[in-house]
Copies of this chain bind each other. A is one copy, B any other.
Amino acid sequence: MQVLNGVIKSIEELNEDSVNNAQERMENLIKPPGSLGVLEDLAIKMAGIMGDSRPVIGEKSVIVMAGDHGVVQEGVSIASQEVTRQMLSTFLNGIGGVGVLARQAGARVVVVDVGVAGGPVNVTGVISRKVKPGTQNIARGPAMTREEAVQAIEAGIEVVRTEINRGAGVIATGDMGIGNTTPSSAILAVLGNYTALEVTGRGTLVNDDVMSLKCNTIASALEINKPDCTDGLDVLSKVGGFEIAGLTGVILGAAANNVPVIIDGFISTAAAMIAASLEKKCINYMIASHLSSEDGHKLMLEYLGLKPMLYMNMRLGEGTGAVLAMNLVDAGCRILNEMATFSEAEVMDLEDDKILK
């Protein structure tokens, strides 16, 4: 708890001077003010996060937190629980979704077992921070104890800190966990004050019968656990998951270290909601990437006041959407750094093309 409290305390407001200086330069670039829209906002946000009015995107890491969910006993998922474990190596060896897209983006993939069912994951490169081999069934009681939630969050804090110390300047969040749209929906319901019906989406391959079962399961989880919406740790431990807790730590840890964190889809944004409920200032360090095709994602982003950039109808998780957005964050920084201002351009004789020579 000490680590978590320390991190929460050290999250600052964005650097106002850097924001103002970046804004001023942006307004003087050789284009109509505002015409690059979100690219401009991104660059100015990056300036504030990094405390540098000419921010340059650093090394990139995507941190994929993995965990299993006792609630799959209720039949809320079509896929079998073993898939959580099986997919982890594909992220690292580059044949899985996030493996491919991270290679394209030039991002390091970090995979962490915070709560995968069964024994240790025997894959080189998977970091073991297993709190427990999966949560308890949230339809019957709490997912985990409050202490376990803190332990998983602090694992995320430690992993992101290590990445930042290794040189990461931008972090993307990713998740792997069969059944994890169910706890994520429950988190949305509690913190966003929605009914189970309003937050239940199709997840992966869920048909109408399973949808109805899933909705009832979420309703039971809320009814039995009665999570306290004013206490993020209570919500997380009662209806969350270990990978969601790990991602909460990643987000808080990035913010505490003045590093931007790109939020992936439904599961990652559930973690972002928990992080925001623990310390609202961390929202300033978040960059929304894509709008997932999972129904409730839009509501989550609205809760956080974030706007997605990519409308790709994706719902794979793993950090795929967040990694895809790294190029956009880079683009924003490049606009601020590499475009000329009117006064810079004026000293060049443009038509005679002296700049090229």
Chain B residues contacting A99 (CB-CB under 8 Å) are: 339
Residues 341 to 357 of chain A near chain B (Cβ within 8 Å): 344-345, 348, 350-353, 355-356
Chain B residues contacting A315 (CB-CB under 8 Å) are: 32, 35, 37
**Interface stretch of the complex, out of A90-98, A155-163, A188-196:** A90-98
Q: Name A85's closest neighbour in chain B (CB-CB).
A: B351
A197 at the interface (CB under 8 A from B): no
How many residues from A make CB contacts under 8 Å with B?
64
Cβ–Cβ contact A351 & B86, under 8 A: yes
Could you tell me the dominant secondary structure of chain A's interface residues?
Answer: loop
A324 at the interface (CB under 8 A from B): yes
A317-357 vs B, Cβ < 8 Å mask (1 yes, 0 no): 00010001001101100110011100011001011110110
Residue from B35, B95, B204, B344 in contact with A340 in the complex, judged by beta carbons closer than 8 Å: B95
Chain B residues contacting A97 (CB-CB under 8 Å) are: 30-31, 35-36, 335, 339
Given contacts A32-B204, A89-B355, A309-B310, 5 further A-B contacts (CB under 8 A): A36-B312, A38-B312, A90-B350, A95-B340, A311-B311
Would you give 7 A-B contacts (Cβ < 8 Å), ordered by A? Answer: A30-B87, A35-B315, A36-B320, A93-B353, A100-B338, A124-B356, A324-B328
